[in-house]
C-alpha cells in the first residue's frame, strides 16, 4: 500500500542523512519533496498543509542545525508527525463490548468489503476476546449477501441469524436484538446494506437501524484503494450516523495509501482496524506508530512477533526445539517451516514488517525470489516418501527423478532443496554443540563477517551485496539475518531461481 510513498520519502531521507551539516535551505528543499510525495500518495491537501506546517518549525530549529546527526533528527521529527496525523501515540482503544449483548453496526458502501470484514471481526472477537458472537445480515438488496454472511459465520465459528425471506431491514434488526438477548450472546454484529453511491434512502435506513439497535460501536468500512473518495464517504457518513471508528480494507493493495493518512484528520474518528486480503485472519488492530514505521521503511517487528506467536504451534515448536538441541533437522521439519512462513503471510508479508529491507525487496524480486518458490519446495518434499523425508541420504538418482516428476520440477531443483536442507541441518548441529556462538560463527562466515547488512541505524540501509543475495537464495537467511521464533534460525525456502 505505501511502497511508492516509502520509496519517495526514502530518497529524501537518504539525501539528508548523508550530510554532516544541514542548512535551512536543505531542510526546506526536503520539506518540498515530502509535500509532493504526500500529494502524489493522494493525501488530502489540508492534511498535507497541516503536516508540513507542524514539521517545518521543528525541522529548521536550532536543535536540528547543531545536532551531531541532523538528518536522523529530521527523520524522527517526520516520524512523530506521521504518528500524530494517523491518530497519536496512545494505545488503540478497545471496542466497547462490555454490556451484553453489545451491538456493533457495520456501515459502508457496497464493494468496500463490509461483509467480509464482519466475518473477520467476528472471528477475532471469538478467538481473542472469547466472546459469544451472533451476526445478522440486514442487506436485503444485494443478491446472496445474507447467504455470504452465513457462510463466513460458519468459517469464523460464530452463529448467524436464520434468514427469513421478505423481511425489511428494520424488522431483521429487531429480531436479531431479541435473538441476541435470549441466546445469551456477548456481541451482536449487524451487517447493514451498502450502495454503489451515497444516497438519502441508504442514510435514512442506516439511521433507522441505529435508532432501533442503539449500537455500542458503529464502524464505517472504507476501501483504502479509493483514495479521496473514501475520505469523502467517511465525512458524509459521520454527518448522519454516530460513527465511533473506521476500518480500512485492502491495505495490502497497490494503491497510494492517502486515505489512511487523511481519514483520521478529516473525520476526527480513530481507525480501529485494517483489513488485508480475503482470509478471515487478515484483520489487524490499527496502530499509528507501527504504520508510521512501515511508511518510513523502519518495519514493524512488533506485528511480526505477534503474528509469529499467533501462528506458532507451541507443541510443534517444542518438539522441533528438542530435535534441534540434538542436532537433528529432517525434511519434515523443513517442510513445517515453509508452511509456517506461508501462514504468517508469506515472504512478502514478512518482508513488509522487517526494518531496512527496502533495497533487498527490489533485488529479491529481480532475482526471482517469491512465495511460489516456497510452495514449490514444499511440493518437492511432499513428493518424497516418509522414509526419504526422514533420511534424505538414501536419495539416489532414480529416486530424485521420481520426486522431480511428482512435483513437476527438474531434478536440479530437487538437488537445491536437498542442499539447502543440509546447510540448515549443519546450522542446527552447530547450535546444538556451541549454542548461539556456533550459530553466530556460521552466519558470520556466510555473510562475510561484520554487522548485519541493511539493519544499521541512520537513514538509508546499505544495498545488499550479490554475495548476500546468493546466501539468501542458497541458505534462507535474509540480508542481516533477522531470526524468527520457530523458523530454524533463518527464513527457509528461498533458494533457487524461478522455474524456466
DSSP 247-261: EEE-TTSSS--HHHH
First to last CA, the chain: 30
CATH number of 3-86: 1.20.120.140
Task: Tell me how far apart the alpha carbons of residues 269 and 355 are, in angstroms, rounded to a whole number.
Answer: 29
Task: Tell me how far apart the alpha carbons of residues 427 and 439 are, in angstroms, rounded to a whole number.
Answer: 6
Q: Coil, strand or helix: which one is 153? A: helix
- Domain 302-475 belongs to what topology? 434 Repressor (Amino-terminal Domain) (1.10.260)
**Does the predicted TM-score (pTM) go above 0.75?**
no
Supply the pLDDT for residue 147: 93
Supply the pLDDT for residue 120: 93
Along the chain (500 residues), what's the average pLDDT of each consecutive run of 10 residues? 66 68 77 83 82 82 63 77 79 82 89 90 92 92 89 94 90 94 94 77 85 91 74 78 85 63 79 84 81 65 53 63 70 79 63 55 59 82 89 88 89 89 76 52 42 36 44 39 38 40
Q: Which residues have C-beta within 8 Å of that of residue 51, sequence separation ≥ 6?
A: 38, 43, 81, 82, 85
On whether the CB atoms of residues 202 and 117 are closer than 8 A, the answer is: no
Q: Domain limits of the chain? A: 3-86, 102-286, 302-475
Supply the pLDDT for residue 257: 61
Supply the pLDDT for residue 317: 63
Angle (deg, nearest 10), helices 411-447 and 314-325: 70
Query: Which CATH superfamily groups domain 102-286?
Result: P-loop containing nucleotide triphosphate hydrolases (3.40.50.300)
Supply the pLDDT for residue 119: 94
Supply the pLDDT for residue 172: 94
Amino acid at each position: 500500500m505505501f511502497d511508492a510513498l516509502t520509496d519517495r520519502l526514502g530518497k529524501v531521507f537518504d539525501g539528508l542523512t548523508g550530510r554532516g551539516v544541514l542548512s535551512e535551505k536543505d531542510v526546506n528543499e526536503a520539506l518540498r519533496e515530502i509535500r509532493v510525495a504526500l500529494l502524489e500518495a493522494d493525501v488530502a491537501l489540508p492534511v498535507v498543509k497541516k503536516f508540513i506546517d507542524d514539521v517545518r518549525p521543528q525541522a529548521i530549529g536550532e536543535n536540528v542545525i547543531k545536532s551531531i546527526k541532523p538528518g536522523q533528527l529530521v527523520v524522527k521529527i517526520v516520524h512523530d508527525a506521521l504518528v500524530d496525523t494517523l491518530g497519536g501515540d496512545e494505545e488503540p482503544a478497545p471496542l466497547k463490548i462490555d454490556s451484553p449483548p453489545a451491538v456493533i453496526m457495520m456501515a459502508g458502501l457496497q464493494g468496500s468489503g463490509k461483509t467480509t470484514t464482519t466475518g473477520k471481526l467476528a472471528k477475532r472477537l471469538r478467538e481473542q476476546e472469547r466472546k459469544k458472537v451472533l451476526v445478522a445480515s440486514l442487506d436485503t438488496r444485494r443478491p446472496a449477501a445474507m447467504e455470504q454472511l452465513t457462510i463466513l459465520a460458519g468459517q469464523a465459528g460464530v452463529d448467524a441469524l436464520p434468514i427469513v425471506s421478505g423481511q425489511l431491514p428494520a424488522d431483521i434488526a429487531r429480531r436479531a436484538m431479541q435473538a441476541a438477548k435470549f441466546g445469551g450472546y456477548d456481541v451482536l454484529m449487524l451487517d447493514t446494506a451498502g450502495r454503489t453511491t451515497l444516497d438519502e434512502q441508504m442514510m435514512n435506513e442506516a439511521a433507522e437501524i441505529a435508532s432501533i439497535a442503539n449500537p455500542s460501536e458503529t464502524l464505517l468500512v472504507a476501501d483504502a484503494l479509493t483514495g479521496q473518495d473514501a475520505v469523502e464517504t467517511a465525512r458524509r457518513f459521520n454527518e448522519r450516523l454516530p460513527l465511533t471508528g473506521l476500518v480500512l480494507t485492502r491495505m495490502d493493495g497497490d494503491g497510494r495509501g492517502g486515505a489512511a493518512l487523511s481519514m483520521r484528520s478529516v473525520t476526527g474518528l480513530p481507525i480501529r482496524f485494517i483489513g488485508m486480503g480475503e482470509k478471515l485472519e487478515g484483520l489487524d488492530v490499527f496502530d499509528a506508530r507501527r504504520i508510521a514505521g512501515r511508511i518510513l521503511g523502519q518495519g514493524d517487528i512488533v506485528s511480526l512477533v505477534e503474528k509469529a506467536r499467533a501462528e506458532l504451534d507451541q507443541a510443534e515448536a517444542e518438539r522441533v526445539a528438542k530435535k534441534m538441541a540434538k542436532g537433528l533437522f529432517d525434511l519434515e521439519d523443513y517442510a513445517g517451516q515453509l508452511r509456517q512462513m506461508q501462514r504468517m503471510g508469506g515472504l512478502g508479508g514478512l518482508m513488509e514488517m522487517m526494518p531496512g529491507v527496502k533495497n533487498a525487496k527490489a533485488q529479491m524480486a529481480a532475482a526471482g525470489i517469491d512465495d511460489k518458490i516456497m510452495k514449490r519446495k514444499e511440493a518437492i518434499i511432499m513428493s518424497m516418501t516418509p522414509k526419504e523425508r526422514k533420511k534424505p541420504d538414501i536419495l539416489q538418482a532414480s529416486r530424485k527423478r521420481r520426486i522431480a516428476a511428482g512435483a513437476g520440477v527438474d531434478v536440479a531443483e530437487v538437488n537445491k532443496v536437498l542442499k539447502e536442507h543440509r546447510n540448515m541441518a549443519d546450522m542446527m548441529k552447530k547450535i546444538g554443540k556451541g549454542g548461539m556462538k556456533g550459530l553466530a560463527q556460521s552466519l558470520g562466515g556466510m555473510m562475510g563477517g561484520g554487522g548485519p547488512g541493511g539493519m544499521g541505524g541512520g537513514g538509508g540501509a546499505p544495498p545488499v551485496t550479490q554475495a548476500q543475495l546468493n546466501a539468501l537464495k542458497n541458505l534462507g537467511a535474509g540480508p542481516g539475518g533477522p531470526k524468527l521464533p520457530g523458523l530454524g534460525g533463518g527464513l527457509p525456502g528461498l533458494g533457487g531461481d524461478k522455474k524456466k
